[in-house]
Structure 1
Amino acid sequence: MKLRISHETTYGYDMPIRNLVQSLRLTPSVFEGQKTHEWLIEVTNGLKGPGFRDGAGDWVEGWTVRGPVQEITVRTSGHIETRDTAGVLRGHREIIHPLAYLRDTKPTAPDEALRELAHSVDGSTDDALDLSHRLSSAVTDAIAFRPGVTEAHTTAAEALALGEGVCQDHSHALIALARLRGLPARYVSGYLHSTLDGQPHDAAHAWAEIHVGGLGWVGFDAANRCCPDERYVRLGSGLDSSDAAPIRGVAMGSGAERLDVAVHVEEIAQ
């Protein structure tokens, strides 16, 4: 599938800021399931710094903006060709050992309800792929997809208690369950071409990857009860949503910040 992607993030401040420093994980991953034909990152009045590939195999760029300034826009656009690998992350080069992803973080820390759900799922690590599918289905059944009921800092435990959430909550919950069953798991940020009508749609998305012996990392999208296929574009990964955030930064100033995000993915005619 050939996809055209545009991603625009605008930061507005009620008082001018002096400087902004950002770390951008906005370049598509390099693996067998996707090929980047064209990709551009622009930051309003930004100065591009050095880039590097981190231990997880993600490309990270540093940008700075010198003020005073009251509005900054980060624009990303490009063309990606994808193919279905049944969720398996083949050909992705990284050096972090999978066992590092057994560590809990605040968004994925388990409570008693998460522990009960994790151990209620039949299966064993002897067949880690089957167990991973069962854990993902358990999250789908336990947390209904409903935008607006959770926020950026909602934890997996809180989302499970609510019984509702969005893809971030499904991903955190699945990561928590997998780690409780001894399976390394991590958070993935990216894009999803969610419809087939050829029109652009809001399409920022997130899912989880679980490390399965013999296969490596395998993606599971509990929000949509499936594994990532050719509709998905992978950007980067981390222990949780904050660790895998496409944009992280620090602004020097005392004013309040406003954030507007627009993401569109559309299929290009073959």
Structure 2
Amino acid sequence: MRIAVSHSTHYRYDTSVSQSVQHLRLTPFSYPAQTVLDWHIDAPGIDKALSYEDAFGNKVHLATFDRIQNGLTITAHGTIETQDTHGIVGNLDETMPSRVYLRQTDLTKTNPAIRKLAARAGDGTEIADFHTLMQAVREEVAYKVGITETHMSAAEAITIGEGVCQDHAHIFVSAARHIGVPARYVAGYLLLEEGDDSEAHHAWAEVLIEPLGWVGFDVSNGISPTDHHIRLSVGLDSRSAAPIRGVRWGGSDEALDVEVQVTKAAQQQQQ
């Protein structure tokens, strides 16, 4: 399937910003289940940005924006061809040792409720163990927008009992790490059914199950990722996988708007 994505982030300020430095993890990468056909980032001076690959294998643009008067817009857009591999990502050519993904962070630390859920996954050696865990998380934390905040941890979200895809992914990752299985957070895009609104971004989790390698679980939708999913970035949690993260000097009363369009693209005609 071919999917077209347009992802625009708009910053507005009441006073001018002297300088802003942003890490942009806005470039998806190709692997057996997805091929990047074309991709572009539009932002002032993006052609001068430093480009590098971070420790998790994400392509990052380190962009510096000077003297922002009223606002700033960063847009990423392109076309991706995807295949349904039933959530199996496999063993990718990565430099990060898998044991790093056993480390809990402030956002994924366990509590008694998460440890109780983790017991539902048994020893975590089979895919079925994590389908059981996925359903357990869905039962404990209902999907509801506007309840949790971006900085909220897995322990806080499960205590509330409601949350969004970020919260589901954090709880799932926390539980998997608790039973000794490497797990990571994935930020990306999801092609929804016609008439449904696209999210600012989507999130799910991946766990390492040998000999299959990395396998994804979209807890919010109760499925393994399909050809409707586009992987954008990975990390230990939502902070290290954040598509945009940075600092600024100056500027007051920041307002942020994110617009995402994910649509099915026309297939090219064979000659």
CA distance in 2, matches of 1:163, 1:266: 32
Residue in 2 aligned with 1:221? 218
Q: What's 1:237 paired with?
A: 234
- 3-state DSSP class of the match of 1:101? helix
Percent identical among aligned pairs is 42
- Distance, in Å, in 2 between the alignment partners of 1:122 and 1:206 is 21
SS in structure 1 at match of 2:14: strand
Distance 1:91 1:114 in 2: 28
Q: How far has the Cα of 1:131 moved from its partner?
A: 1.6
Contact 2:90-2:215 within 8 A present in 1 as well = no
Structure 1 gaps of 5+ residues are none
Aligned-pair RMSD on alpha carbons? 1.7
Q: Would you say the 8 A contact 1:47–1:64 is kept in 2? A: no
Contact 2:14 2:251 in 1 (8 A): no
1:185 is aligned with what amino acid? A
Runs (5+) with no aligned partner, structure 2:
none
Give the corresponding residue for 2:156: 158
Task: Tell me by how many angstroms 1:128 deviates.
Answer: 3.3
| Contact 1:21/1:64 (<8 A) preserved | yes
**2:258 corresponding residue in structure 1:** 261
| Partner AA of 1:103 in structure 2 | R
Structure 2 counterpart of 1:193: 191
Q: Deviations over 1:74-98 (max 9, x none)?
A: 0011111101111111363211111
State the partner residue of 1:72. 72
Please give the residue correspondences for 1:51-130 in structure 2 after superposition, counting only pairs within 5 Å: 51-90=51-90, 92-119=92-119, 121=120, 123-125=122-124, 127-130=125-128
**Which AA in structure 2 matches 1:190?**
G
- Alignment-derived partner of residue 36 in structure 2: 36
Answer whether contact 2:200 2:258 (CA < 8 A) is retained: no
Q: What is the rounded CA distance, in whole Å, between the counterparts of 1:147 and 1:68 in structure 2?
A: 32
CA distance in 1, matches of 2:47, 2:69: 14
Tell me the residue number matched to 1:210: 207
Provide the rounded CA distance (Å) in 2 between the counterparts of 1:137 and 1:25: 30
Q: Once the 2 structures are TM-superposed, how far is the Cα of residue 104 of structure 1 from its aligned partner?
A: 0.7
* Partner-residue secondary structure (3-state), 2:27: coil
Taking the aligned partners of 1:189 and 1:122, their CA distance within structure 2 comes to 23
Q: TM-score, normalised by structure 1?
A: 0.94
Deviation at 1:101, TM superposition (A): 0.7
Change (3 A) 1:102 1:196: same
Q: Deviations over 1:191-237 (max 9, x none)?
A: 0001146x873452000011111111111011000011100000010
Distance 1:158 1:88 in 2: 30
Match of 1:250, as an amino acid?
A: V
Deviation at 1:44, TM superposition (A): 3.3
